[in-house]
A = this chain, B = another copy of it.
Amino acid sequence: MRAKVHVFLKPGVLDVQGKAVEQALHGLGWGGVEHVRVGRTIEFDLAAQDPAAAEAEVKAMCDKLLANTVIESYRVEVA
């Protein structure tokens, strides 16, 4: 199965990378750009048959390694 994990900073946590991108886009003439957030996406193949079990496994991976749950939230897709 193919798993996709989207990791984003929680709302309220200052996203310095997003701010930098926003200012760079403004500098290039795209002044209408606002509220930029930069996150990361981790995709991988997983040796599992049952979608529900696979999703639970991927969530465990997120809690343990892929996301810093103090400041980041994540969304899991398994297909």
Using a CB–CB distance below 8 Å, which chain A residues touch chain B?
6, 8, 18, 21-22, 24-25, 28, 30-48, 57, 61, 64-66
Contact = CB atoms under 8 A, between A and B. Distances in A.
Contact of A44 (B37, B43, B64): B37
A32 B47 contact: yes
A36 B61 CA distance: 13
27 contacts: A8-B43, A18-B42, A18-B44, A21-B42, A21-B65, A21-B66, A22-B44, A24-B65, A25-B44, A25-B61, A28-B64, A28-B65, A30-B57, A30-B61, A32-B46, A33-B45, A35-B43, A35-B45, A36-B42, A37-B43, A38-B40, A38-B41, A38-B42, A39-B40, A39-B43, A40-B41, A41-B41
